[in-house]
Structure 1
Amino acid sequence: MKTAPMIDYRIEVGSAHAHRFLVTLRVAQPQTRQRLSLPVWIPGSYLVREFAKHLSPLSAQQGQRTLEVQQLDKSSWVVDCTGKGALTVTYEVYAFDTSVRAAFLDSRRGFFNGTSVFLQAEGFEGQPHSLKITGLPKGWSVATGLTSVKVNALGLGDYEAPDYDSLVDHPVELGNFWRGAFTAKSVVHEFVVSGASADLDGPRLLADTQRICEAQIAFWHGRRKPAFERYVFLLNAVDDGYGGLEHRNSTALICARRDLPRTGRPVNTDAYQTLLGLISHEYFHTWNVKRLKPAEFAPYNYTQENYTQLLWFFEGFTSYYDDQFLLRTGLIDAKTYVRLLAKTINQVQATPGRHSYSVAQASFDAWTRYYRPDENTANATVSYYTKGSLVGLCLDLTLRQCPTDGKQVPSLDGVMQRLWQLQRPIQEVDIVQALQDEAPGGPPAWTAAHSWADLLKTWVHGTDELPLKSLLSAAGVTWVSKPAALAQRLGVRLSDAGGNLKVQAVMRHSVAESAGLSAADELIALDGWRLRKNDDLALWHNEQRAQALLICRDQALLTLTVPALVPANPAMGPKGASGEIIALALTENLDASTAQRRQQWLKG
């Protein structure tokens, strides 16, 4: 006989115009002092977000008796219960966060992650949890990856989860939305799009997504069927936005409405490819971080930061594979792929922080640096997404240079599959072992590393430049350097919104820093010529001599001296951002061995 859930939730629209969900929690057999808490973060987004700030005061009852709720800290409460009666707690949640991380509600659409709305009944986290979705505006539907128990045609009704962790790992979309479906490797995939125009080319979106899903399932499982039987894409199309958050059998996505394919209209190729890359990235997370996860995340601690040095692997390698699967499925060609690689390389090269902060440190400090960017972020850290993806690229190309046993060329694919076969949370030592098993002879001699552990120490825990140019050359890709735009060569990031040219950030060890520029400075004139937009700076700048720069800082006018750039167009100092832009191209007239290596790499 099936056990009735100990923990029941009901969620309904309290007031759509006021952006408030009404939530009821019922604990069938509460503890004498029943603690309740709300997560302070959501897995996949490494920042303490303080979701409890959106909760109204809690009301609690046991039978007909009203109980006092005592708040213990910013996100936890306790209720003193007596007898065996069920505890019922009600509260409202203010929901006006348009991102994929929290909750949103207005008269047209609703969305929520469980971490934002469902209090955790401590002591019962491992018990079955049920959810009733009800009280929605007329005509609204429900889309979620949760297991349905008894729902109507619109999806309203009862859902269940085996435990709290599973409950909050299934986002829910509410409203009037476009819905389509396809089957990939015997798994039903549902695609929901909210906010799309009426001419959305749904069939193309489904067909392209299906190719990605089939390729990734085959990557992880071969011919075997994956453990999940259903997957849901929840895409919110807005005027301007981009992002995604992975879950165990679903993902929440945001894109600009204009980036979607539309029937009878030409597609914005670059923008649509970016959307497909996002879909590929979040779907790859179904395995890499949701099932194959760092040991520090097993289990999640929802009350505080969960630190790991492995985001370079879980986010970085996922970033490496997202565009790889667009290439492998024919959604982009090889020329486009190497162009995307060049974009990633240039993003890293423009970050001075890479010289002082390793990608392992960046992973650990994501909570305070990456997710809390300011004018100094580029100097203080490096992205574990972009540099992590380049570490993945370097490992893949290095493995492919290792001796083979004549059966299969070593590759990063093989490393990922070896890790997947462990079927447990992993540590860095497991990655090292997988590399060793994939290429027992160790790294090639040119790396100067005696073992794979030594190589990771250099590339992941060190701050030396990655050997990208030589590895890509050996894989049949030509590396071309050219001078960057003037602002990058000066080491300054500018905004010309509103007709005022303002400094957003100044790079360490740069010309701009030596000149004395600071974030928030407004550039007024160069050598007496008015500056209003980026183009004006290039128009009046003279690289061969020092120039007077008039700025406004806190309403005071100051004159600084911009030194000459001699020789012309130099890269910045060894610890600054690069003054060059990298372009990649497929090398022509390759020798047979290089051509074979490139083909194997680009075909996966």
Structure 2
Amino acid sequence: MSTARKTPKVGASRPVRQAPAPAGLHYTVAVHSAQAHLFAVTLRIEQPAHNQRVSLPVWIPGSYLVREFSQHLQGLSATQGGQPVALKQLDKHRWQAAAVPGQPLELRYAVYALDASVRTAFLDTTRGFFNPTSLCLQVLGQEDQPHALELVSSPATAGWQVATGLEPHSVDSDGFGHYRAQHYDELADCPVEMGRFWSGSFTAGGVPHRFVVSGTGAWLDGERLLDDTRRICEEQIAFWHGDEAPPFERYVFMMHASADGYGGLEHRNSTALICQRADLPRLNTPTTKPAALKATDGYTTLLGLISHEYFHTWNVKRLRPAEFARYDYTQENYTELLWFFEGFTSYYDDLFLRRAGLIDDTTYLQLLAKTINQVLQTPGRHLQSVAQASFDAWVKYYRIGENTPNATVSYYTKGALVALCLDLTLRTEGHTTLDAVMRELWQRCKGGPMREADLLRALKKLGKRPFDAELAAWVHSTDDLPTHDLLQNQGAKLHHDKAPLAQQLGLRVGESGSLTIKTVLRGGAAEAAGLAAGDEWLGVELPAAQRGEPAEAWRIHKLDELLMLRGQRTELVALVSRDKRLLRCPLDWPTESQTVRLTVADAPRLGNWLNPPDTDAGSHTQG
């Protein structure tokens, strides 16, 4: 159950924001053409350098892939005193203006925006959204100067409102007008949502939170969404700060509801989210208490996403890899610690749903079992450590192909299980918990950059022994994790059920219109038969079921049809189409494989982990 919290000590842990200095960099963003999906941007540099250089980021923090945002920038021009200034493009994302010091330099350009993800920019006649990393050129040499952003209203934005985490300076009732940022990093970390959207608010930890949802209808149960989100926020603020205030003055959830989208991206005092409309809570439906939500319910998944991105407010936006102490927007920023920042966040996201009373023990264990099975069904875990997966995120995680499960492991899922194993080990030994270790890290690193050595020191201090061997085995090797024994010691019972047919065969398939092989997993029966990603599985040949009977051949459209057709026969021939050639692939039926299921075995012991007392949730470890 969610418990009442004391009123936070205002300003106890929140940095004091000084009065803003005059901004020497001014961005003006307007809708140039919603129909053509073009934003118009003007950048005014009050004190340009000689031959001033500017650049557009190639990536956005939180999404570790070079995305080349400059591909959508067009029509760049420069003037000083109303006269044209020569521009030279230096590379894919940098330009040099032949400016002279002493008078303002003005740059004008347009940005094409039709990416509905949370990472870039989008504009049509119904909605606008952008991350400043997609629209706002970085003025090299002046990154630490105050930045101003003006959002211009126009007939194209009639009836629209604005939502952003930026500090308002002079805005109208709809949010159009002037905003301020202390430096480029702050500007880059504050996305902007514009359009006709549902808006609601609540207070958590003494801080106002706003939640806006675009793409929804009048059927949205906004009060339930606000209440459930508030409970998550209160639990997480208390987790990190007890009765003290969080280190931000406002927070904004910006969610876009679409037909089939899903995802989120964290920011310092906001998050951008995408969900499926079908996952949102609805009015005029039978009342369902949150604790009764099933693990398969899309709303539970959505709440987990909200919890995940909010936890990032601390774990990666403030407490962050030392390599991210200052972002370099021009190239990849490598770290081996994504297993901690994404993985540990993935451990806590669903755990906070349980602690907030939004799901019960059974549902939580179902969600945890799903994570365990995802890791066990990834052959790449035997090839790549989770630390290597973190470093390779730039070339592997975001470039998913048919061989991805065989070559890599997810730092989200395995990282979550590393957190689980550490937490349960600490609890079993009785000296501390991972909760306390996280707070110790926050104090030790002053809510800033950290290294793996800082985690080891915190574990040793609170756990009363070194944990180097555990991190070496669980993080830096390809060994499997001891999840089974640790869970059973904590009051969970493990069951091994028959795996789905695709998993037994070592396949991932698509069944929309035809049976198409998407992935062939390493070491499985499908690989041994010579099946390949991209094959269309047309049919199957089967030997005679009994002596004297004819052999059989059948057309199939669904993988499960094989179960009915094969009977007890252990050999068959898959008939596939590859590059318009028909191939026969002899397939030996595999021995039965299993999947993990978790249930409650010892409720009191499980409760000590999943639903710790309020005094534990609010405690601090000074260090």
Q: TM-score range by the shorter chain?
A: over 0.9
Q: Is the 8 A contact 2:501 2:560 kept in 1?
A: no
**CA displacement 1:525-552 (0-9 Å, x = unmatched):** 1111111122223322456422111111
- Counterparts of 1:170-181 in structure 2 under 5 Å? 170-181=190-201
Q: Is 1:416 the counterpart of 2:441 in the alignment?
A: no
Give the unaligned 5+ runs of structure 1.
Answer: 405-409, 443-450, 570-578
Instruction: From 3, 15, 37, give the equivalent of 2:55.
Output: 37
Q: Is 1:546 the equivalent of 2:571?
A: yes
Which one-letter code corresponds to 2:137 in the other structure? L
Size of the aligned set, in residue pairs, is: 572
Correspondent of 2:204 among 179, 184, 187: 184
**Is the partner of 2:141 in helix, strand or coil?**
coil
1:9 and 2:31 correspond: no
Q: Matches of residues 425-574 of structure 1 in structure 2 within 5 Å? A: 425-440=449-464, 442=465, 451-498=466-513, 500-527=514-541, 528-541=553-566, 544-565=569-590, 568-569=591-592
1:384 aligned partner: 411
SS in 1 for 2:419: helix
Measure, in 2, the Cα distance between the counterparts of 1:200 and 1:231. Answer: 21
* TM-score, scaled relative to structure 2: 0.90
After TM superposition, the score normalised by the length of structure 1 is 0.93
Distance in 1, Cα, partners of 2:267 & 2:152:
23
| CA apart distance, 1:432 | 0.6
* Contact 1:542–1:564 (8 Å) recurs in 2: no
Q: Determine the structure 2 residue equivalent to 1:201.
A: 221
Any conservation in 1 of the 2:498–2:594 contact (CA below 8 Å)? yes
Instruction: Give the 3-state SS of the residue equivalent to 2:90 in structure 1.
Output: strand
Name the amino acid aligned to 2:238. Answer: A
Greater Cα offset, 473-482 or 75-84: 75-84
Distance in 1 (CA, whole Å) between partners of 2:88 and 2:75 is 10
- Deviation of the 1:83 alpha carbon: 4.2
Letter in 2 for 1:600: N
Residue deviations 1:432-485 (CA, integer Å, cap 9, x gap): 111111111x2xxxxxxxx30111000001111111110011001111112211
For residues 123-158 of structure 1, give each alpha carbon's deviation from its aligned partner in whole angstroms, at most 9, with x where no partner exists.
Answer: 000000000000342111111010000001001100
| Partner SS for 1:583 | strand
Could you tell me which of 244, 249, 253 is aligned with 2:273? 253
2:384 to 350, 357, 360: 357
SS in 1 for 2:429: coil
Q: Identify the match of residue 77 of structure 1 among 95, 104, 122.
A: 95
Write out aligned runs for 1:178-327 (5 A): 178-266=198-286, 270-327=297-354
Deviation of the 1:597 alpha carbon:
4.0
Matched, 1:331 2:358: yes
Distance, in Å, in 2 between the alignment partners of 1:299 and 1:583 is 43
Report whether the alignment pairs 1:123 with 2:137. no
Q: Is the 8 A contact 1:12 1:133 kept in 2?
A: yes
2:387 and 2:50 map into 1 onto residues whose CA distance is 44
2:194, 2:568 → 1: CA distance? 57
- Seen in structure 2, the aligned counterparts of structure 1 residues 334 and 83 have a Cα distance that, compared at 3 Å, is closer
Aligned residue for 2:617?
Answer: none
AA at the equivalent of 1:263: L
Q: Which residue of 1 aligns with 2:181?
A: 161
How many percent identity over aligned positions?
55
| Letter matched to residue 284 of structure 1 | F
Cα distance in 2 for partners of 1:536, 1:68 equals: 67
* Alignment partners' CA distance in 2, 1:173 and 1:204: 22
Letter in 2 for 1:598: L
Q: Decide whether the 8 Å contact of 2:47 with 2:101 is kept in 1.
A: no
**Distance in 1 separating the partners of 2:387 and 2:355:** 29
Partner of 2:618: none
Contact 1:38 1:119 in 2 (8 A): yes
Q: Which has the higher contact order (CA 8 A, sep 6+)?
A: 2
Q: Secondary structure at the match of 1:154?
A: coil
Residue 402 of structure 1, CA deviation = 1.4
Distance in 1 (CA, whole Å) between partners of 2:486 and 2:93 is 49
Secondary structure of 2:428's aligned partner: coil
TM-fit CA distance, 1:395? 0.5
- Letter of the aligned partner of 1:538 in structure 2? L
Q: Equivalent residue for 2:549?
A: none
Distance 2:604 2:354 in 1: 17
Superposed displacement of residue 57, structure 1: 2.9
Aligned to 2:611: 603
**1:539, 1:172 → 2: CA distance?**
53
Give the aligned CA root-mean-square deviation in angstroms.
1.3
